[in-house]
Amino acid sequence: MKPLTDTLCLQCGLCCNGVLFGDVRPEAGDRSPLFAGRSRVNQPCPAFTAATCACAIYAERPARCRKFECKQLLAVGAGEISAEAALKKIRATKKLAAKVERLLGELGFNDTTLPLHRRFKRCQRAAETGGLAAEQFDTLADLQLAVHELTLLLAKDFYS
């Protein structure tokens, strides 16, 4: 039988692509090549391939990556929910994250090297300091609602 990480994580990537976390930090003694002298690496992680949801340094990934198990992974592992139910949740969450990305893009916040929450913060700051045009306010409202929904979903179903 395939390991759960193959079944779920290779369809997900939310803990690597800047949706769940803003960066990856080493623990004491962590020799992962991801850091190579750096004290932290921003997400989306440079070792992550979005098309395949795969980690390029999986065998040598940081300790934090090894240890993190989201609520979906834990719940399927404990037999509380089926893998199909978890995949359904993952797909819905990725769809909502994609909506947030699209709305950020429409408002001109296209820097995909930043984690999603940082892009949203920049957008909020721009809105507060007069950096958005009045005709963008409807899109901003849609974005704020989508971010709120995503934040609740991540808290309820992913952060462990």
- Which residue intervals of the chain are DSSP H helices? 4-8, 63-67, 71-77, 83-106, 116-128, 137-157
Binders of ligand SF4 among residues 24 to 53 (CB under 6 A) are: 24, 34, 45, 47-48
Q: Which of 38, 26, 37 is nearest to 63 (CA)?
A: 26
For residue 105, give both structure tokens. Answer: 């893009």
Q: Nearer to ligand SF4 by C-beta: 70 or 150? A: 70
Please give the Cα distance from 123 to 147 (Å, whole number).
12
- The pattern of x and - marking residues 130 through 159 that bind ligand SF4 according to CB under 6 A reads ----------------------------x-
Q: How far is the CB of 63 from ligand SF4 (least distance, A)?
A: 10
The answer to whether 13 contacts ligand SF4 (rule: CB under 6 A) is: yes
Q: Rounded to the nearest 10 degrees, how much is the dihedral formed by the CA atoms of 118, 34, 159, 113?
A: 20
- State in angstroms the smallest separation of the CB of 151 from ligand SF4: 15
Give the footprint of ligand SF4 on this chain (CB under 6 A).
8-9, 12-16, 20, 24, 34, 45, 47-48, 55, 57, 61-62, 65, 69-70, 72-73, 158
